[in-house]
Chains A and B, each alone.
Chain A
Amino acid sequence: MDLQSLKKQEHQRRIRKGFMWAFFCAILWGLWYIPGTVVWVLNPFDEMYGEIAATNGDSTSLVITAVLITAFNALTVIMALMVWNGALGKFGEMKRTIMEFKPCSRWFFLASIFGGPIAILGSFISMGFVGGAFAAVAALMYPVVGSILASKWYGEKISKRAFVGIAFIIIGGITIFGGGLLTELGNGNIVWIGYIGGLMAAVGWGIEGAIAGKGLDIAEPDVGLTLRFVGENIIWWIIAIPLLAIAGFPMIKYALLVFEPLTMLLLIFAGITFGFCYVTWYKSFPLIGVGRGQGIGNLYGLFAVVFIALFFGDIPSWTILVGGALCLIGSSVMFSEDAGQLESLRGE
């Protein structure tokens, strides 16, 4: 076999692995919606919600409770990522990446701002105000933001086929938002903050992907993602929660009450699903590009609907099904792209 054939074979292997990681991300992300939905009804979060709602109203209470849940989610994600990095022997690499703040770590800390306080919190808000199935599919628009940014910022190539995939995802997203809104209007019960939460998730994750793509030019995805969650933990535990406690919300009281076996079990499983889905998402970017990685990762919407139907027995409404199907078609169009088209991910 000549050098050219070997190079081509190696390239095809990398592409296959890239799609495999994005697929793992989709399954694990879909599974995350099970603990992510159920944890809301358990204590201390249930009582926390009730206490804050009594004095500050339902909307404020939901956002504040979401902050505490998201903070614990970030904490258990770090635990899961330590297991991941330990199993892969990456602790030495982690130390090296932390030391190189300017070229490496700063990108991941920046990514944590968009992924954490904006995207994850937004997802929790939409989950609480509208529902698990809606939250799962509402953020499906994020590859549009991610691929456009990656293209404009560092010239990631977006082929015609990828554009078609993105168009399907936009139409699917409009179907999801529009259909849900029409149903709410019909009921006379419009929960705007739930839709804003969905939008926050789409924009936040899209921007995060583009930033991470830049950082992953010179850093390992496993380590980079761990640093991104270190950044998110700092945002929640050093900045947001103390500030909310100073503002008079019972953050510390309920944070200390979280050590209940069932609640801890759910938070640990949320950490495993979310941590592993995120690390596989990051692993796909250097192999197939941010746009495609996010596009295939987008299948999480479908998996979430499937897992929610399987384990909760909830049958999603037809608009969510149609929107989800369109997004799935868009992702499949990207997936079926010829490997030769992906030989160079950057335009230069």
Chain B
Amino acid sequence: MVQTQAAMEAYNAYWVNSPVPAAEVMWMVVVLIVAILALWQARTFVSQF
């Protein structure tokens, strides 16, 4: 199913007031950084305990 114009407008409206530049991409970058950090810590944890 292709996104309708109304759906895309509603989606884009979420990021309009964000103080972060390119907020629609930046939140995903933040997620990936935190997730990789957690996974790295989990591997360290497995080797330590």
| Contact partner, A276, options B19, B28, B35, B45, Cβ 8 Å | B35
Chain B residue numbers with a CB within 8 Å of A34 are 27, 31
- How many A-B contacts at CB < 8 Å in the complex? 99
Chain A's nearest CB lies how many Å from the CB of B5? 11
In the complex, how many residues of chain B place their beta carbon closer than 8 angstroms to a beta carbon of chain A?
Answer: 34
A144 within 8 A of B: no
Task: Kindly name the residue among B1, B16, B18, B37 whose own CB sees the greatest number of chain A CB atoms within 10 A.
Answer: B1
A41–B11 CB distance below 8 A: yes
Chain B residue numbers with a CB within 8 Å of A310 are 18-20, 23
Contact with A along B5-48 (1 / 0, CB 8 A): 01100110011111110010011101110110111011101101
User: Which of the candidate stretches A42-50, A54-62, A175-183, A289-297 sits at the interface with the other chain?
Assistant: A42-50
Chain B residue numbers with a CB within 8 Å of A28 are 31, 34-35, 38
Separation of A31 and B32 alpha carbons in the complex (Å) = 11
A311–B26 CB distance below 8 A: yes
A84 within 8 A of B: yes
Indicate whether A262 sits within 8 Å of B20 (C-beta atoms), given known contacts A41-B10, A312-B14, A312-B15. Answer: no
Contact with B along A225-266 (1 / 0, CB 8 A): 000000000000000000000000000000001101011010
Separation of A13 and B49 alpha carbons in the complex (Å) = 10
Chain B residue numbers with a CB within 8 Å of A87 are 39, 42-43
Nearest 3 interchain pairs by C-beta: A313-B17, A41-B10, A257-B1
